[in-house]
Amino acid sequence: MIHPTRGRLVLLSTDLGLEALEIIRLYGWRFKIEVGFKQAIHTVGAYAYHFWMQDMNPIRRGDGSQHPHRQSPEYRHHLRRKLAAYERHIQLGLIAQGLLQYLSMTFRRVVWFNFHSYIRTAAPQKPPSEWVVTHALRHSWPHFLAGSPESFILKKFLASKISLHRCGYVDLLELEQAA
């Protein structure tokens, strides 16, 4: 292909039927996908899993020879459960990432208003990143719960899950009453 300003370009593709402009357009998606993975890893923690099976055989670092097909059916069942938990963890993380993107696009002004930190590249006229949305949510979360009624189902759920002696804002949330 001969580019109008850059000269000759060599484009490689495994699909020989694609036109040059289509290859360039598809390659442009790579950056967006990589940014999405970066946000999923670092902001949401979708791939930060640490599920361990108690009966898993220990292996040395770099040794990938588990040979599960040689193990007992019970062991393979436990391994399938572990992999299913890992997949659910990733799915929930990606759902959370999608919700952060939805909040970013739908409630841009509210997110920037509740973002009480410094960011060098802040542009309130543009939708915020997932990272900015998480910080805005973290800042406004206690106030949201404090303003919700005691019968609020999320408040009841949190009251049963949060360790009250470790929570810094129990009085603000009135979680003990909600349970």
pLDDT of 59 above 70:
yes
Q: Is residue 101 part of a domain?
A: yes
| Gap between the Cα atoms of 103 and 127, Å rounded | 9
Q: Is residue 56 part of a domain?
A: no
Helix (H) or strand (E) holding 97: helix 73-106
The contacts found for 90-93 with CB under 8 angstroms, 24 or more apart, are 90/46, 90/47, 90/49, 92/46, 93/40, 93/44, 93/45, 93/46, 93/47
**Single-letter residue type at 98:** G
- Total residue length of the chain: 179
Q: Is residue 57 part of a domain?
A: no
| Gap between the Cα atoms of 12 and 28, Å rounded | 14
pLDDT band at 170 (very low <50, low <70, confident <90, very high): low
Do residues 88 and 118 share a domain? yes
Do residues 119 and 171 share a domain? no
DSSP letter (8 states) at residue 18: -
Do residues 136 and 153 share a domain? no
Average pLDDT over residues 32-40: 90
Do residues 7 and 79 share a domain? yes
| Gap between the Cα atoms of 133 and 114, Å rounded | 9
At residue 98, the pLDDT reads 93
pLDDT of 140 above 90:
no
Do residues 42 and 118 share a domain? yes
pLDDT of 143 above 80:
no
Which residues constitute the domain of residue 168? Answer: 149-179
At residue 165, the pLDDT reads 66
Do residues 171 and 142 share a domain? no
Do residues 168 and 116 share a domain? no
pLDDT of 167 above 80:
no
| Gap between the Cα atoms of 45 and 39, Å rounded | 8
Q: Is residue 21 part of a domain?
A: yes
pLDDT of 147 above 80:
no
| Gap between the Cα atoms of 81 and 88, Å rounded | 10
Q: Is residue 136 part of a domain?
A: yes
Instruction: Return the minimum-mean-pLDDT range out of 20-24, 84-88, 120-124, 147-151.
Output: 147-151
- pLDDT tens figures, 67-118: 777 888 888 888 888 889 899 999 999 999 999 999 999 999 999 998 888 8
pTM: 0.69
Burial of 30 (0-12, 13-18, 19+ CB in 10 A): exposed
Q: Is residue 137 part of a domain?
A: yes
Do residues 138 and 154 share a domain? no
DSSP letter (8 states) at residue 56: P
Question: What's the total number of domains in the chain?
Answer: 2
